[in-house]
Amino acid sequence: MELLKEIKNKEFPNDKSTLKTREASRAIIFDKNKLIPLLFVSKYNYHKLPGGGIEEGENKAKALIRECLEETGSEIKVNGEVGKIIEFRSKWNLKQTSYCYYGKITSKGEPDFTENELNQGFKIVWLSLKEAISKVENDKPKNYEGSFIQKRDIIFLKKVAQIIN
């Protein structure tokens, strides 16, 4: 998968022994009206793509299908790769690699947000790709994590616009 960008607020540490790593799958998925779901994190004022961590025993595709079902209530079909982004969040000594895919929604349901997601005020908003790019670009995240997510997801959204056009 193509590496689209490395996002970091400091250089990676020379001593990698304490570096935590996380891999995640993310999706840009279109419904029959060509709208995509974004998750609005109202507590911290930013939007993000559905997706999340790859759990033990899962591959990227299985994690993606599970996360989309949990966060959007939607079953999906993956049509292709968008690319990957590596983030280094020095505050947490975390190197996260996000793999992004695009596809379509085959059925819609209701999300099953975790307690933490509910506490952060997660809500689904359905937008055209153009509206989603504008929304994410104009967000003003109120926390450390949100600033990374904004940088990451705008790259994924703009890349999928190139792919499908």
Q: What is the rounded distance in angstroms from the CA atom of residue 108 to the CA atom of residue 105? A: 7
Q: What is the rounded distance in angstroms from the CA atom of residue 113 to the CA atom of residue 11? A: 34
Query: How does residue 14 score in pLDDT terms, banded at 50, 70 and 90?
Result: confident
Structural domains of the chain ordered from first start = 3-35+50-113+148-164 (3.90.79.10)
pLDDT above 80 for 13: no
Q: What mean pLDDT value characterizes the chain?
A: 94
Residue 65: what residue type? I
Gyration radius of the chain over CA positions: 15
Q: 72-102 burial by CB neighbour count: b if 16+ within 10 A, else e? A: bbbebebeebbbbbbbbbeeeeebbbbbbbb
**pTM to 2 decimals?**
0.94
